[in-house]
Structure formats: C-alpha cells, structure tokens
Amino acid sequence: MDSKPQNGATAGQALLAAAMLLPGVGAVHAETPPERASIGFKYLYYKEDQPGLDRVRVHAPAVSVLAPVAGDWSLGASATVDDVSGASPRYHTAVSGASRMKDLRKAGDITVTRYLSRGTLSASAAYSTEHDYVSRALSLQATLASEDKNTTWSFGVGGSDDSINPVNRIVQGAGRQTVSVLAGATRVLTPLDVAQFTLTHSRGHGYYSDPYKLADERPGQRRLDTALLQWNHRYAAQGATSRLSYRFYRDSFGIRAHTLGAEWVQGLAGGWSLTPGIRLYTQRAANFYFDPVYDSLLGAPFPTGYVFGSGRASSADQRLAAFGAAALSLKVAKQVNRDWAVDVRLERYQQRSAWRLFGSGSPGLAPMRAVNLQFGVTRQW
C-alpha cells in the first residue's frame, strides 16, 4: 500500500511536534502536573474518493491515558489500530486491477514528564507496525518559562528508524532514518492574546521511493523545514476564542507549501461548545514529479526518455504534484459533568489541481475528496 509518509511528517517528526506544540490558550506559565488522571477513547472514520472511484476507507479506534505520578511526574500513553482498505492509485489518478489494498496498522506511544518550577522535561517513544512497514521513534522535549511567566520557550529533538519490506519484493530490508529538531516560543501579548512561533528542521536518509508505483525513484536523502505561526485571541464578552495559524513548508525534493487555518471556539450554555474551522492549502510540485505525458514506446506511466535503473529521480505520485486544497470542519463538544466530556468532529476536504496558488497546478489530476469523522469521550477521576 502507499499509505507511508512521503511529503508529510515521519513518525519521529509527528511525535516531536505533537509533544512540543503548546495549547496557546490562556496564560503561559510553568506547567504543573495534572491534578487528576484521565482516560480517553476516540474513534476515527476516514474516507476519500475521486470521480468514479471509491478509494480509501480507514477505521481507527484509539485510547489514551494520562496520570500524575509521585507529585512532580506524569505518565501518558496512547494506542491505536488503523484498519485501512480501498484502492490505491498506481500513478496519477489511474488504478490497476491489482491495486486493491487492505492493511492493519498498530501504533502506540508513551511519554514521561518531569515538572519543574519553571518548565518541564519529557521523553517520548513511539512504535507502529504494518505488514510491510515498521517505524520506531524517540524524542526529548523541554520547556522553560520566563521569570514573569509571560513567555515559554520550547526545545526538542527526535529521531525515527523505519523499516520497509514491500510484499512485491522490489526491495527487502530497506530502511530510512530521520532526525528532527524543534525550537519555539509562546508569548502572552495581552490579557486576551497569545502567540506562538515554532521552527522545525528534519534531515533523513534511506529509502523514500514508493515500491508499489512504476517509474518511482526518489532521492535517498531528504531535508525539510517548517515554520508555524499561531495566534489566539479571547473575546471575553462573547465567550469565544479565535485561533489563526499559518504554516510554511519546504523540502529538498522541491516542494513548497503554505497552509492557512482559522477556528472559532464558541462557548455555549450547559457546557456545550461549537468550533467551526477552515483550512486552505497550496503546494508546488517536487522537482522530479512528471505530469501525465508518457513515453511513446514504453507507454504509461513512464516519462519521456525514461530508462530503467538509470537512477534518475522521477515520480508520478499525485501527492508530489502541484495542487490546492480546502477543508471545512465543525466540532461539537459537551462537558457533561466534572468527570465526563464528549465531542464529535466532522471535516470535509477537497483537493484540485486548479486551486493551486502562486502558479499552475499539475494537469491530469482528478479532484480528490475526503470526509473525516471523529468521536471522542474522556473520563477523569
């Protein structure tokens, strides 16, 4: 299957980013251990399709726990199972008869945190496995608050080690290793405004090609950088908070991407809250991505002049193409009582070549649509 990270974060990068990004709502302060233990359950349903093609479906139940330990420590852990099925594009938007896929991914992580007078120290580990893919990740994180507690700096380093063994045996025992570093700052600007800026740099080497696609040969090294700016403003009279974000991404494959996000968190009577959101995305194609113009002798999907085993980087993977996308979401949450909370979130996503900003999109790509439905329940004691 082709569900492995290609132009997104690796497991190590995702673990590091999730551990380090601060909520950014309310006052910045030296974090304290959780007063109560909690357990949460979430269920995710994801479905994507293209015109005339029902592509991927994912069912993913997950459970997480967080507990205070020995006063100044906390222990957190989570586990999830992703049941993936559907049709995977062989190249561009074409699908072969043998492209049906079904896979089961099992993943878990654990984090230990030590709380200090003006900051925290955390260590995290993650592991996930599929029938043809195994990923292991470790990270270390630290936060430090200023004396006036209006600024918190965050730092982190993480690494992942992935093993790839595709069932078609294009490669056997292939690997990929990635190291990521992160630095950021969260600042209280006014009693109602909090801003956060985060930089992440990753460097990896190993096997990046997709073994299930023809004419897919990618460089053996990859560097990527992201810059994330977030700003939250509290509207006290309305009982609401706005969340704005901008993310810039670039990598050594030549991809450049911009993401704008906005959410409005509206508190309501009876413990209810509504959070509508919108996200806009645009991406430039990788340097070695080729559009659907095929070799007259070899046919599809080979680019003109393609030579087997030449080592020339090439890929027709539509995730490396130039396109734009938009997503609309709505979250409904209810604090039932002191111990119980529930939430439901629905997101509709659509991707089109013509929606790319700052340039033309890649031709020949069929529109892609996706729906993401999440349900969660949390219990504290």
Confidence of residue 251 (pLDDT cuts 50, 70, 90): very high
Which pair of structure tokens corresponds to residue 76? 């957190």
pLDDT of residue 294: 65
Residue 167 scores a pLDDT above 80: yes
Residue 4 scores a pLDDT above 50: no
3-class secondary structure, 75: strand
Listed range (5-9, 28-32, 171-175, 230-234) with the worst mean pLDDT: 5-9
Listed range (71-85, 213-227, 288-302, 363-377) with the worst mean pLDDT: 288-302
Residue 79 scores a pLDDT above 50: yes
pLDDT of residue 3: 40
Which pair of structure tokens corresponds to residue 245? 């974000």
The pLDDT tens digits of the residues spanning 83-95 come to 998 876 556 666 5
Residues 6+ apart with CB under 8 A from 198: 20, 21, 154, 182, 183, 184, 226, 227, 228, 230
The pLDDT tens digits of the residues spanning 309-321 come to 777 899 988 899 9
Q: How far apart (Å, rounded) are the C-alpha atoms in residues 144 and 31?
A: 9
Nearest alpha carbon to residue 104 among 57, 161, 172, 64? 57
Confidence of residue 138 (pLDDT cuts 50, 70, 90): very high
pTM above 0.95, yes or no: no
Listed range (26-35, 278-287, 318-327) with the worst mean pLDDT: 26-35
pLDDT of residue 279: 98
Q: Which residue has the tokens 């349900």?
A: 375
Nearest alpha carbon to residue 189 among 156, 141, 230? 230
The region, left, alpha or beta by phi > 0 then psi within -120 to 50, assigned to residue 191 is: alpha
Domains annotated for the chain, with CATH where assigned, are 11-380 (2.40.160.40)
Q: Is the dihedral of CA 14, 277, 50, 219 positive or negative?
A: negative
